Structures are given as structure tokens and as C-alpha cells.
Amino acid sequence: NKKAIGESHSKLILVGEHAVVYGKPAIAMPFPLKVRATVKESKGPIKFKSSLYRGYIYEMPNEMRGIEECIKETLNYLNKPIRDLHITIDSLIPIGRGLGSSAAISITIVRSLFSFYRQKLSKDILFSLVTVAETYAHGNPSGLDMIASSSEYPIWFKKGKESMTIKIREPFHIVVADTGRTGNTRRAVTNVKKRYDLEKSNIQKSLAKIERIADESKYALVNGDNNLLGKLMNLNQQELINLGVSDDNLNKLINVAINAGALGAKLTGGGLGGCIIALGRDLEHSKVVADELVKSGVEKSWYFSTENERLY
Ligand code: PMV
């Protein structure tokens, strides 16, 4: 029986979320929570299975429209009928927490379908097919998620421009804590737009500051200055508060991380729920920060070292 597998992983935005929608630069990196899609032959309408939904693709709930469209677009592109397949998603990425689960799932679907039909997949085609799904999920996606979820290295990203990988000089350790509350990227992006229309000069100032923060963060990474990177993450958080995408619970957890000695901390992704990230001083200290966050009630925390690419 014919079978094919496609894989991908989650991502973290280090700095620059939201401003990236307005053409400013952002820095994101792969985060090794994995997702896998398996495609098998099966007679009849396409069956789909994941922890969120099990059934036929034409009956998917509204919030999964992006995935349905991604499957259809990919099969149209491959000139294959939209039937006779069984697609299974196994994902360790929590949904709606700013870790890029929607982009990662779409990437695995496109990869697995191309592999099933033994077709070569270029980055450009992958991105154009995933954009279909991301547009349903986000409304006006910058494309940052899908690029970071398909990259093996930290990337420097500007909407509509070629992204660049960043060569980091010194390893760093990043703590991720999941509030357990689903963020709402679409709502957060809409809120920023409303604020932009109402208080243009205030929001433009924030966007310009975030642009400088992203530039300096790239400098910090390339020069191995983790203290500077931490400071810049803190400054970025202040601007995210001004954009209206943080909330009391995120701010509280960020303070917990800072009080535990983190070099910097901020929300990551769309905000209004989801995850925070904090920069640990070293591996041992990252564990301390991660444990403190759990004591403060986060649903889950991880820490990740770029030194050995391991997730703890
Ligand atoms: O919440 P996430 O992981 O989908 O991140 C969204 C990042 C934003 O900058 C807020 C939106 C975008 O399209 O880039």
C-alpha cells in the first residue's frame, strides 16, 4: 500500500512580531516541536484525522478551512483528484499558542502530498501553497511563520523580501512557557490595525522602535552578545504592550522570568494569550526559569539550547 510522510516543526519569533505585518524586519527561529503528516491510499472522499478533527475534508469545521483549502490547492497543483486519500496529522505543537502550528501543519501536508505523488517540491511552490492556508488562519499573513517553520536556522525576515539565515556567534538558551490560553492572532492583528488607524503617530513610533530592536538583535546574535539580546527582548515587549497585544497574565509571567534572572523576556507570536519566551543565562539557569514559570501556573514550559539543538 502506497504511503508517504511529510515533516515540519514549530517556530519562535525572537523579535519583531506584528511590526512585520507593516513591512518591518523580524527574527524567528525553528523550535523542535515536531509535526508529521502521513498520506495513504483510501477509496472515496478524502479522510482526515488529527487530534482536533476526524472525518471527511469537505465536512471540516470552519476553523479548519485553511487546511481543507491547502489540501485542495495542492492536489489541484499536482493535477490529482481530490479523493482516494487518507491524511493523518500527528503534532506535538499546541494549537493557537503563537508557535506556528497552522503553518507547520500546512507545510507537512504539502510535503507529504508531493512525496506521495513523487513530485519535486521547490520552496517557492511550498510557500505559495501554504500561503493559501495561512490566509484563512490569519487574514493577512506576513509569511514569517511558514518560512521559520521550514527553516533549520534563525532567520531574518521582511515581508515580500528574500529571507536570510543568521549565523549566531554564541549559543543561547531560550525558555518557552505556554499560558495554556489560546491566543488569537487574527484578532490581535486586527486590533493593531485599528490602533494604527486611530493613533497613527504613536503606533508608527512603536513600529520604528521595533525595527531598530530587530536590527540590533541581529547584531547581538551575530556578535554573540546575549546580554544585549535580552535587553532588546525587554524593549520589544514594551512596544508590544503599546501595540495592545500583551495582557496582564502575559506581563505577570514575563516578570516571573525576569525576577528569576532571565536576561530578557517577551510574548512570542500573535499575543493575547499563547506563549512567552525568556532568555536564560545558561542551560542550568534556563531550567530554573522554566521551573519558576511552572510554579506560577503556566500549562507547560520547555527550554532549548542552540548549542546541542536539544529541547528539554
Ligand atoms: O501567532 P503566530 O505564531 O501565528 O504569529 C503571528 C505573527 C504576527 O506577526 C503577529 C502575524 C504575522 O502574520 O506575521
- Structure confidence by residue, pLDDT tens digits, 130-179: 998 888 877 778 889 999 999 999 999 999 898 999 999 999 999 999 99
| Predicted local distance difference test score (pLDDT) of residue 1 | 75
The reported pLDDT for the residue numbered 261 is: 98
- pLDDT at residue 135 in the model: 86
How many angstroms does the Cα of residue 19 sit away from the middle of ligand 1?
Answer: 10
**Residue with CA closest to ligand 1 atom 5:** 269
Those residues of the chain that have pLDDT short of 50 are: none
d(CA 139, CA 141): 6
CA angle at 309 for the pair 131 and 108, rounded to the nearest 5° = 25
CATH architecture, domain 168-311: 2-Layer Sandwich (3.30)
Q: All 3 cell numbers of residue 87?
A: 491524511
What is d(CA 289, CA 269) in angstroms, rounded to the nearest whole number? 20
Cell numbers that stand for 59 in this block: 465536512
Tell me the CA–centroid distance for residue 268 and ligand 1, in Å: 9
Residue owning the nearest CA to atom 3 of ligand 1 = 98
- Ligand 1 atom closest to 26 (CA): 9
3-class DSSP state for residue 208?
A: helix
Q: Which residue ranges make up each domain of the chain? A: 3-157, 168-311
Question: For domain 3-157, which CATH number applies: 3.30.230.10, 3.30.1330.50, 1.10.390.10, 3.30.1360.30?
Answer: 3.30.230.10
Looking at the CA of residue 99, tell me the nearest atom of ligand 1. 3
Q: Which amino acid is at 130?
A: V
Residue 192 phi, psi (nearest 5):
-60, -40
pLDDT value of position 251? 98
- How crowded is residue 145: how many other Cβ atoms within 10 Å of its Cβ? 31
Distance 21 CA to ligand 1 centre (A): 8
Provide the pLDDT for residue 63: 85
Residue whose CA is at the smallest distance from ligand 1 atom 13: 141
Q: Which neighbouring-strand residues pair with 223?
A: none
Give the per-residue pLDDT at 294: 97
3-state percent breakdown (helix, strand, coil) of the chain, nearest 5: 45, 25, 30
pTM (2 d.p.): 0.93
**What separation in Å is there between the alpha carbon of 74 and the centre of ligand 1?**
23
pLDDT at position 40: 98
Query: Ligand 1: which of 13, 97, 135, 196 to mutate, most ligand atoms within 8 Å of CB?
Result: 13
